[in-house]
């Protein structure tokens, strides 16, 4: 493909060296550009200097060599199972899919790669592969001198002084390049930002992407790796884009993001809006890994209904974007990166070339993982009425990746055994392996269990419901709170750290049934369901209403809502604090244990990732990497004196109060914590949040917002506190500042017969539509809490 002339590459290389040298010299402002008054000597530079970071997880950043099936926490989105990126895409992959360059993935050990990607030197993207001359050794690679971010939605009038400070908050900016037309000299509305490390870059992405509108801008900035960077960094170049329909038109990207957060790292969320900026009720969510994407589909499609909607979400891989008139051919001439028809699979390139359609990433295995299950096996699946997978996936695309990817991943996890799930799967999937991995996370026994189906009438093949659905069924009971929690964990490798609570190890037994599960979750909620079913097979009485058994039992460990919210918070915090503290201590040792345990059976790479992840995270959250553990991550990301003019960040700065963690309740009814900045999810409350909450207590004893609405509800149903932090958190974007989204999933607080929704979802705008469902909702609550998702199985409607 478009390979540049040798000369170009050489130039790049040279430049690279220069940059690297600059780094070494810690030249904070390599470019003699007009020193912004905002960017002068960041005192904390040392803390954030690359060197420092490396110290933290030097061996760490090896995106290059380690195939983190699971994006390490702070890692840029994710890793894409490489799959080499052979050309061949026919489909017009939207320019958004993958990098335009359709480059190759770096040498990732992962799955077999059909088309051996060109050596790094060749990988040279049009836009520079700075390390071309440095060989491909991880060390060198790791020693990359910079990471370039592309920033879109930059007003053409913006100046470096205006934009730099913004990014300076996330790390030391090596360079700001406002792109302008060569001829006219007019700015093009975008720019490039260079950081020395991908950690900083990631941070910037998470902190700013879609969250901050530059003065004069019409939309929040778009921050992403520049074309070619992702590949270069080994983070993959493909994105798995999901189409999401039946969204409440009032929700924001942020909220959607949180709904999908539990399933993995997202690259982007885009809601379709009309000319008036009004949501059209659908949008796209890009995941960086297929596993995540699939996990989201399985868990949400046809299952999760947002309040105000009478239809459950539709979640499916997006169709290839329709090229706009006059648009050049398919961008990445050759199907974006990441997909190569397996030499042996004989899969049609067309299918394989579209990352959105599960294709053979690993490039081996039966080409029919998906198809088979759509029609009959999976049946229209939970999404029955909603177009099952059937029509979405072309018959031919084989999702070999499923088998390979998760498989190895599991291996990495060390606690999942395929065998366990093995034979259980019905012949449903032509590729039992695949199938079970994603669709039969419930023990065969429970799967077969008819107890399940009662609730889901709409589906043709009850036994193949995706886990989530089943979950709902069984969720009705909830005896094994801890277990269930353990069973499902956030996508972070780090989860292991939370072992103390999640009981990762013990849960393994459970896992066996759910073994092959999306990476994010060592085990899916289904496990819970399974258990629940066993306990009380036909007891879902309580959920007759919504079929959302989940609701009630959802809160395995309902916080004891004391009459006084304050009291509640206090006790809660105390507990959390204690817990988190301990957990943090145990965490490491646990991890180590895991390492030892796993090591033999797996490539230790993933593990390293885990370590990295945990470290990264603490570093990120804390102002000072090294002290992160002890120091509440609540501190602001940057103590840099440089204060962006009107930067919202500046405003937040004064008070060391900020926590990007928010509590949510996943569709399966479990509480989880999501960090909107790192985009990390956890099942256990991060100590940062605990601390943050604690801190919030002091100043403002009275949680301002939402009070009214909360009061409207019996004390118990009171949602947790959340107002303060969220505001801070979303200060950037207008769209985010409105609602304290945290409440999103906060419903289910184990309220009597009241369903979760009823209890905690104030009620959006009382969609009096479907009487049935609506009726159940608690009326009178305040609409302000926009997030009122109702939980109900698709069957709901009737």
Give the Cα separation of 73 and 685 in Å (integer). 16
Partners of 149 in beta bridges:
193, 225
**Closest CB to DNA among residues 54, 249:** 249
Contact segment (CB under 7 A) with DNA among 379-387, 620-628, 661-669, 681-689 equals 379-387
Does residue 272 interact with DNA by CB under 7 A? yes
Does residue 371 interact with DNA by CB under 7 A? no
Among 78, 86, 120, 228, binds DNA (CB under 7 A): 228
Does residue 588 interact with DNA by CB under 7 A? no
**Closest CB to DNA among residues 100, 549:** 100
Among 137, 333, 603, 712, binds DNA (CB under 7 A): 333
How far, in whole angstroms, is CA 278 from its chain's centroid?
A: 25
Least separation in angstroms between CB 583 and DNA: 36
Does residue 316 interact with DNA by CB under 7 A? yes
Contact segment (CB under 7 A) with DNA among 66-74, 328-336, 506-514, 724-732 equals 328-336
**Tokens representing 741?**
């989204």
Does residue 1 interact with DNA by CB under 7 A? yes
Give the Cα separation of 569 and 671 in Å (integer). 16
**Closest CB to DNA among residues 284, 478:** 284
Among 36, 76, 246, 584, binds DNA (CB under 7 A): 246
Name all contacts of 633-637 with Cβ < 8 Å and 24+ positions apart. 633/659, 633/686, 633/687, 633/688, 633/691, 634/658, 634/659, 634/688, 634/691, 634/692, 634/695, 637/169, 637/170, 637/203, 637/207, 637/677
Does residue 698 interact with DNA by CB under 7 A? no
**Closest CB to DNA among residues 96, 202:** 96
**Residue 725: which residues within 8 A CB-CB, separation 6 or more?**
657, 658, 659, 662, 692, 693, 696, 742
**Residue 191: which residues within 8 A CB-CB, separation 6 or more?**
150, 151, 154, 158, 163, 176, 177, 178, 179
Does residue 277 interact with DNA by CB under 7 A? no
**Closest CB to DNA among residues 528, 794:** 794
Give the Cα separation of 786 and 784 in Å (integer). 5
Does residue 758 interact with DNA by CB under 7 A? no
Q: How far apart are the first and last CA of the chain?
A: 53
Contact segment (CB under 7 A) with DNA among 51-59, 281-289, 431-439, 488-496 equals 281-289
Least separation in angstroms between CB 243 and DNA: 3
Angle in degrees, CA 486, 587, 614, rounded to 5: 95
**x/- string (CB under 7 A) for DNA, residues 607-646?**
----------------------------------------
Nearest Cα to Cα of residue 414 among 208, 156, 231, 603: 603
Does residue 280 interact with DNA by CB under 7 A? yes
Does residue 320 interact with DNA by CB under 7 A? yes
**x/- string (CB under 7 A) for DNA, residues 6-45?**
---------x---------------x--------------
DSSP codes, 434-473: HHHHHH--S-HHHHH-TTTGGG--S-S-GGG--HHHHHHH
**Closest CB to DNA among residues 149, 602:** 149
- Interacting residues with DNA between 147 and 206 (CB under 7 A): 148, 150-153, 175-177, 179-180, 182, 188-190, 192
Among 386, 416, 635, 764, binds DNA (CB under 7 A): 386
Does residue 94 interact with DNA by CB under 7 A? yes
Least separation in angstroms between CB 786 and DNA: 17
Residue entry with tokens 């209403």: 545
**Closest CB to DNA among residues 226, 629:** 226
DSSP codes, 301-365: TTTEEETT-SSB-EEEEPPPPPPPTT--S-SSSS--TT----TTT---HHHHH-TTS---SS--S
Does residue 4 interact with DNA by CB under 7 A? no
Give the Cα separation of 484 and 510 in Å (integer). 9
How far, in whole angstroms, is CA 767 from its chain's centroid?
A: 30
Question: Which residues of this protein are in contact with DNA, per CB under 7 A?
Answer: 1-2, 15, 31, 94-96, 100, 127-128, 148, 150-153, 175-177, 179-180, 182, 188-190, 192, 210, 219, 221-222, 224, 226-228, 241, 243, 245-247, 268, 270, 272, 280-282, 284, 286, 309, 311, 314, 316, 318-322, 324, 329, 333-334, 356, 385-387, 391-392
């Amino acid at each position: 493909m478009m390979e540049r002339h040798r000369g170009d590459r050489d130039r790049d290389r040279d430049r690279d060296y220069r940059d690297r040298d600059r780094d070494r010299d810690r030249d904070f402002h390599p470019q003699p550009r007009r020193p912004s008054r905002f960017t002068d000597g960041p005192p904390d530079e040392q803390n954030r200097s690359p060197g420092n970071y490396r110290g933290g997880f030097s061996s760490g950043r090896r995106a290059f060599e380690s195939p983190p099936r699971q994006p390490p926490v702070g890692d840029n989105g994710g890793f894409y199972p490489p799959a080499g990126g052979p050309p061949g895409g026919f489909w017009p992959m939207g320019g958004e899919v993958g990098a335009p360059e359709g480059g190759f993935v770096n040498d990732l050990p992962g799955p077999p790669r059909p088309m051996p990607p060109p050596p790094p030197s060749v990988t040279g993207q049009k836009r520079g592969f700075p390390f071309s001359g440095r060989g491909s050794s991880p060390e060198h690679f790791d020693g990359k001198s910079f990471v370039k971010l592309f920033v879109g939605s930059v007003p053409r009038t913006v100046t470096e002084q205006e934009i730099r400070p913004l990014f300076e908050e996330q790390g030391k900016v090596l360079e700001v390049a406002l792109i302008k037309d060569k001829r006219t000299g007019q700015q093009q509305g975008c720019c490039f930002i260079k950081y020395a490390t991908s950690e900083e870059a990631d941070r910037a992405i998470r902190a700013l992407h879609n969250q901050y509108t530059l003065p004069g801008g019409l939309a929040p900035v778009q921050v992403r790796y520049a074309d070619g960077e992702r590949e270069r960094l080994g983070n993959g170049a493909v994105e798995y884009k999901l189409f999401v329909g039946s969204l409440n038109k009032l929700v924001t990207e942020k909220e959607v993001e949180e709904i999908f957060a539990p399933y993995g790292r997202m690259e982007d969320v885009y809601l379709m809006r009309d000319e008036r900026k009004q949501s059209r009720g659908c949008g796209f969510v890009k995941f960086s890994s297929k596993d995540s994407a699939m996990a989201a589909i399985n868990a949400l499609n046809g299952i999760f209904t947002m309040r105000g909607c009478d239809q459950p979400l539709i979640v499916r891989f997006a169709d290839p974007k329709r090229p706009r008139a006059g648009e050049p051919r398919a961008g990445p001439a050759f199907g974006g990166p990441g997909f190569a028809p397996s030499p042996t699979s004989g899969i049609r390139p067309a299918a394989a070339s579209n990352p959105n359609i599960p294709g053979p990433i690993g490039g081996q295995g039966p080409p029919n993982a998906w198809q088979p299950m759509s029609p009959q096996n999976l049946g229209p699946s939970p999404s029955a009425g909603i177009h099952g997978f059937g029509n979405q996936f072309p018959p031919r695309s084989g999702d070999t990746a499923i088998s390979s990817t998760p498989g190895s991943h599991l291996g990495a996890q060390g606690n999942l055994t395929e065998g366990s799930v093995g034979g259980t799967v019905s012949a449903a999937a032509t590729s039992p392996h695949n199938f079970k991995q994603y669709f039969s996370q419930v023990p065969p026994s429970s799967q077969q269990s008819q107890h399940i189906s009662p609730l889901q009438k709409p589906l043709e093949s009850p036994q193949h419901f995706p886990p989530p659905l089943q979950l709902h069924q069984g969720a009705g009971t909830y005896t094994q709170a801890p277990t269930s929690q353990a069973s499902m964990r956030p996508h972070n490798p780090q989860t292991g750290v939370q072992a103390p609570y999640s009981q990762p190890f013990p849960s393994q037994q459970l896992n066996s049934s759910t073994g092959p599960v999306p990476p994010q979750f060592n085990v899916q909620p289904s496990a819970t369901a399974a258990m629940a079913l066993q306990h009380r097979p036909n007891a879902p009485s309580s959920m007759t209403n919504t079929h959302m058994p989940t609701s009630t039992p959802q809160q395995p460990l309902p916080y004891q809502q004391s009459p006084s919210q304050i009291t509640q918070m206090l006790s809660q915090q105390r507990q959390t604090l204690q817990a988190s503290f301990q957990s943090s201590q145990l965490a490491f040792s646990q991890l180590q244990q895991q390492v030892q345990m796993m090591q033999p059976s797996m490539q230790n790479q993933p593990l390293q990732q885990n370590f990295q992840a945990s470290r990264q995270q603490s570093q990120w959250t804390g102002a000072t990497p090294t002290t992160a553990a002890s120091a509440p991550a609540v501190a602001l990301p940057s103590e840099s004196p440089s204060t962006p003019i009107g930067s919202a960040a500046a405003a937040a700065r004064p008070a060391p109060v900020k926590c990007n963690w928010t509590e949510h309740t996943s569709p399966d009814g479990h509480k989880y914590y999501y960090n909107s900045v790192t985009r990390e999810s956890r099942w256990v409350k991060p100590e940062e949040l605990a601390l943050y909450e604690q801190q919030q207590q002091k100043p403002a004893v009275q949680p301002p917002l939402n009070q009214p609405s909360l009061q409207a509800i019996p004390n118990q149903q009171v949602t947790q506190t959340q107002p303060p932090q969220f505001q801070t958190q979303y200060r950037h974007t207008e769209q985010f500042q409105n609602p304290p989204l945290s409440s999103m999933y906060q419903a289910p607080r184990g309220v009597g017969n009241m369903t979760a929704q009823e209890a905690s979802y104030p009620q959006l705008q009382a969609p009096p539509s479907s009487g049935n469902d609506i009726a159940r909702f608690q009326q009178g609550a305040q609409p302000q809490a926009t997030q009122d998702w109702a939980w109900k199985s698709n069957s709901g409607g009737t």
